[in-house]
Chain A
Amino acid sequence: MKDLGQRVLDGEQRAIAKMITLSENNSPEAAREMKVLHPASGRAQIIGITGVMGAGKSTLVSELAMEYRKMGKTVGIIAIDPTSPFTGGALLGDRIRMTKLTEDEGIFIRSMGTRGMLGGLTSAVYDVVEIMDAAGKDIIMVETVGVGQAEVDIIKIADTTVVVLVPGLGDSIQAIKAGIMEIADIYVVNKADRPGFDRIMAEIESLVDLTTEAGKRSIPIIPTVAKTGEGIAELRASVDEHLELLNGTNEFQANRRRRYEAELIEIIRKRLMNLIFDESIFKERIEGLIDQIEAKEKDPYSAAEEILSQVLK
């Protein structure tokens, strides 16, 4: 049988799926195969979709995917849901809204849990994007609930980030406060069929007015009813327009460079963390150091320096 990497390049579904699992599990084989895949990546258009739980992101992703399929493009979807910090388990339910896509061979959907810090969600998502890209998907969408730094980092993978808001949740101001608005390239006001639509439109418009620098692009606001597909064609056009705009400037390259920089840092961070916290030699050391810190025999900085100097030897 051919190598896994080669089978991914051929676009074989099972190979793509296996490769993603290896990467999620931090397998050494994943690192090996990623070396094969990287040269073939970089062609896909990457779209990040974020917003609160229940905003209609999965429904929107499903409709947008069909819109791109109509244009003959292939689509990869990464749907991320939170892992329970208590049990390590996760209920990944985004596919409920994507059943229309299941039997289309031109679409590959993967659900992911955020898993633990040390597992490194971000680096796994970088890999999964690269795997789907190398497998030849034209469009890659990443859906994530917009809370926490990890999620904001994930969204930095995207060429275009869509922030989804809805009427009546009273969370738009919270989203602004949480810094989520700063990452938007496009706002979607979904559930435009629901009461409170005018109000949230006005809120976002005034926010965009307030934050747009003179002479700069003002962030588009697209109303949608994802449930019926209304506004999806407009959203698709707006996403592609944003990419075109990027392509015309140095921003696109700068974006991608930022992504590779973040990815490199993430891989190094993960390797170092694993080296320190997974190796049993250090485990005992760390326990001992914590004892000493607790007994005030040592301060945390000196303890950290001790570990680091041993790692870097």
Chain B
Amino acid sequence: MEGKIRVLVAKPGLDGHDRGAKIVARALRDAGMEVIYTGLHQTAEMIVQTAIQEDVKVVGLSLLSGAHMTLFTDVTRILKEKGMDDVLVLGGGIIPEDDIPKLRESGIKGIFGPGTPMDDIVSFIKENVEE
């Protein structure tokens, strides 16, 4: 069976630009993945609904503002409610050190700060996706 890793790259919240998310999306595509890109202003519900329909193995969330805690944990909570807890959830952006334990606890496995080399994200996904 010739599976491909399908990843949803989403930008929750209301803040303005998605440059970072796009860079990640392109890097994952160049690493041979199928990347579903949904653009700005996604609610947690929209992200989960998209993850279900696209049957992705990975959801990458990008965030700039301070509202990440609730937005990130909303996504993992709704994923769980919908029985999608086998999805690997990653978060990227400016995330205060103090918040990291709580995010991990909520089910966000990979947390990547600004300037993380793309190769690190790619290999993290390849190592952690359940076959």
Interface residues of A (CB under 8 A from B): 13-14, 16-18, 20-21, 24-27, 83-84, 87-93, 95-96, 99, 102-103, 108-111, 113, 115, 119
Contacts and interface: CB of A to CB of B under 8 A. Distances in A.
B122 to A, nearest CB: 11
A26 B29 contact: no
Interface string B38-80: 1101100110011011110000000000000000000000000
A102 B45 CA distance: 9
A90 B35 contact: yes
Contact of A89 (B31, B49, B53): B31
Interface core residue of B3, B30, B34, B45 (most chain A CB under 10 Å): B34
B36 A27 contact: no
From B3, B42, B50, B55, residue with most partner A Cβ within 10 Å: B55
Contacts of A21: 3, 6, 55
A89 B1 contact: no
A13 B36 contact: no
Contact of A115 (B4, B25, B37, B52): B4
B29 A13 contact: no
Given A102-B49, A113-B4, 17 more contacts: A17-B54, A83-B34, A84-B29, A87-B30, A87-B32, A89-B30, A90-B29, A90-B34, A91-B26, A91-B29, A95-B50, A96-B39, A99-B38, A99-B46, A103-B46, A109-B50, A111-B36
Q: Most chain-A Cβ atoms within 10 A of its Cβ — which of B3, B33, B49?
A: B49
A120 to B, nearest CB: 10
B14 to A, nearest CB: 14
B53 A17 contact: yes
Nearest to A77: B53
Contacts of B96: none
Contacts of A92: 34-37
Given A91-B26, A92-B37, A25 B3 contact: yes
Contacts of A20: 55
Given A17-B54, A21-B55, A84-B29, A89 B42 contact: no
A14 B6 CA distance: 15
Interface string B1-38: 11110100000000000000000011011111111111
A119 B2 CA distance: 8
Main secondary structure of the interface of B (DSSP, over half): mixed
Interface residues of B, number: 32
Between A16, A89, A96, the greatest number of chain B beta carbons within 10 A of the residue's beta carbon is seen for: A89
Contacts of B82: 14
A120 B33 CA distance: 18
Contacts of B35: 89-92
A14 B56 CA distance: 11
B50 A102 contact: yes
Contacts of A26: 1-2
A111 B34 CA distance: 9
Nearest to A102: B46
A113 B29 CA distance: 11
A251 B104 CA distance: 58
Nearest to B82: A14
A267 to B, nearest CB: 16
B32 A88 contact: yes
Contact of B38 (A14, A84, A96): A96
A150 to B, nearest CB: 17
A56 B30 CA distance: 25
Given A88-B32, A89-B28, A89-B30, A17 B52 contact: yes
Nearest to A91: B29
B16 to A, nearest CB: 16
A108 B55 CA distance: 12
B101 interface: no
Contacts of A115: 4
Contact of B54 (A25, A91, A93, A110): A110
Interface in B109-125: none
Q: Identify the interface centre among B30, B53, B83: most chain A CB within 10 Å of its CB.
A: B53
